[in-house]
Amino acid sequence: MVRIGFIGAGSVEFTRNVVTDLCSFPELHGELHLALHDIDAERLGYAEALARRVSDQLGAGATVSASIDRRTALEGCDYVVNEIQVGGYRATRTDFDIPARYGLRQTIADTIGIGGIFRGLRTIPVLLGIGHDLADVAPDSVLLNYSNPMAMLPWAVYSGTPFRNVVGLCHSVRDTHKFLAGLVGHPEEELELVTAGFNHQAFVLRFALGGEDLYPRLREIVEADPELRRRVRVEIFRQFGYFPTESSEHGAEYVPWFMHHDSQIDQFRVPVGEYLRRSEENLSELDQTLAALRSDGPLDLTPTSELASEYIHAHQTGRPAEIYVNVRNDGLIDGLPAEACVEVPATIDKAGLHPRAVGALPPQLTALNRTFLNVVELTVRAVLDGDRRHVYQAALLDPNTAATLTTTQIHDMCDELFTAHGDLIPSSLR
């Protein structure tokens, strides 16, 4: 039997998607043990009921267990899917509201920037605990991480715990490839696409059809479409020559050129505070899911091809799958530190995960990635070393924050956030 742990299983919509995918694979029927964990007992109960309903409706015959104790849920797991958001909506609201009082704009605030830094400070200690637990009770498992900040969390696990087998998963590359295929009017499967960099700041390095470079065609399409040019990611493509994987609203807060200027907010239609609206929509979706769960009718179960389920299926069946993963660099991308967590193409099969080296990025992309790396590395080191100075330094080096605030404002804002988050921040940093 294949034991799959879910940490943060109370994120019911996401749990539903992965469980639906897994239970839709005939090869895994009768072979699944879904071990659910959440610190919220009520939400854990919802997740358990949902997993049982999904398994029954799809005839998967899965065993479902739930535990408020994390180590109990993780013991003996083959795979562990992590989907936590430490502090929930309240902490996210704090990450937006306090910087906003200083005049600092954010859109998603979960990767770098002030929101990404403080989400990292809250989340890294929990991931370190998970890594230590897995080293003790499931040393041969694979930790499949979805939580943000993605570039920070796997790095913290493999650098700060004895557990090394951590793989970050994100939809951004897949979604970007689909978007580009639509722009040039060719099925994605016909295109030659290679992408690499950091999660949320990777770039499409090869974009071709039958050996023909499609970037000249893409430039023609962009220059002929004024509305397309009103997207941040398209502007970054125009300036740096390669298409970025992150959405325009998210990508705007990783660089210094957009968020501080009213004219750029208008021109590029940057939705300030976007993640707060999405969080409120997620709460509404939870209510809808719970209402469906309480009804007697069948659930609407549509497989979503979640990357975690694709990974597990390929590894279990030996049918290879091509996915993008976030793993320790170790020479996969030249010019970036070996210990950094990078996003690269990979194959998963019966033998395991096989990330592919992509060599050196174009120098302008390496330069842009380094500005991203500054914030990521210092935040990870702040927690691992217990050094509060690195938090201030990460904030001072963050492109959007540095373009907006003075050094004194940045220090004062960080101090307010430390106080507001309280016990969610590691004691060594408080």
Residue 13 is predicted with a pLDDT of 86
Residue holding tokens 């919802």?
46
- Pairwise CA distance, residues 220 & 268, whole Å: 19
Domain final residue pick, 149, 168, 187: 168
Q: What are phi and psi of 105, to 5 degrees?
A: -90, 145
**94 pLDDT above the threshold of 80:** yes
Residues 227 and 217 in one domain: yes
Domain of residue 304 covers 90-111+169-430
Structure-token pair, residue 59: 């005839």
pLDDT in tens, 341-393: 999 999 999 999 999 999 999 999 999 999 999 999 999 999 999 999 999 99
Report the CATH number at residue 228.
3.90.1820.10
Residues 117 and 150 in one domain: yes
Residue 296 is predicted with a pLDDT of 82
pLDDT in tens, 282-315: 777 778 888 888 888 899 899 999 999 999 999 9
Residues 195 and 73 in one domain: no
Domain final residue pick, 168, 184, 205: 168
Q: Which residues pair with 167 in a beta bridge?
A: 144
Residues 63 and 200 in one domain: no
- Pairwise CA distance, residues 27 & 372, whole Å: 41
Residue 284 is predicted with a pLDDT of 75
Report the CATH number at residue 81.
3.40.50.720
Domain final residue pick, 168, 183, 207: 168
Mean pLDDT of 224-231: 98
User: Is the overall model pTM greater than 0.95, yes or no?
Assistant: yes
DSSP conformation letters of 192-257 = EEEEEEETTEEEEEEEEETTEE-HHHHHHHHHT-TTGGGSHHHHHHHHHSSEESS-HHHHGGGSSS
Residue 106 is predicted with a pLDDT of 98
Residue 132 is predicted with a pLDDT of 98
Residue 279 is predicted with a pLDDT of 84
**147 pLDDT above the threshold of 90:** yes
Residues 192 and 228 in one domain: yes
Q: What percent of the chain has pLDDT over 70?
A: 100
39, burial (CB in 10 Å: exposed 0-12, middle 13-18, buried 19+): middle
Residue 375 is predicted with a pLDDT of 98
Structure-token pair, residue 309: 């389920």
Residue 104 is predicted with a pLDDT of 98
Among the listed residues 132, 171, 186, 260, the single catalytic one is 171
Residue 162 is predicted with a pLDDT of 98
Residue 418 is predicted with a pLDDT of 98
Residues 159 and 31 in one domain: yes
Residues 104 and 24 in one domain: no
**194 pLDDT above the threshold of 80:** yes
Residues 84 and 71 in one domain: yes
Contact assessment for residue 184 and residue 214, using Cβ atoms and an 8 Å cutoff: yes
* Cα–Cα distance list, 247 to 34, 171, 238 (Å): 33, 11, 15
Mean pLDDT of the chain: 97
Contact assessment for residue 251 and residue 239, using Cβ atoms and an 8 Å cutoff: no
Structure-token pair, residue 359: 């060599």
Residue 124 is predicted with a pLDDT of 98
Residue 287 is predicted with a pLDDT of 80
- Pairwise CA distance, residues 375 & 422, whole Å: 22
Residues 145 and 206 in one domain: no
Residues 58 and 205 in one domain: no
Contact assessment for residue 2 and residue 78, using Cβ atoms and an 8 Å cutoff: yes
- Pairwise CA distance, residues 413 & 418, whole Å: 9
HEC-encoded secondary structure of 400-421: HHHHHCCHHHHHHHHHHHHHHH
Residue holding tokens 């071990």?
35
Residue 16 is predicted with a pLDDT of 93
Residue 155 is predicted with a pLDDT of 98
Q: What is the tally of structural domains in the chain?
A: 2
Q: Indicate if 171 belongs to the active site.
A: yes
Contact assessment for residue 190 and residue 212, using Cβ atoms and an 8 Å cutoff: no
Q: What are phi and psi of 41, to 5 degrees?
A: -60, -40
Q: Please, which pLDDT band fits residue 339 given cuts at 50, 70 and 90? A: very high
pLDDT in tens, 115-130: 999 999 999 999 999 9
Residues 103 and 120 in one domain: no
Residues 214 and 267 in one domain: yes
Structure-token pair, residue 325: 């993963």
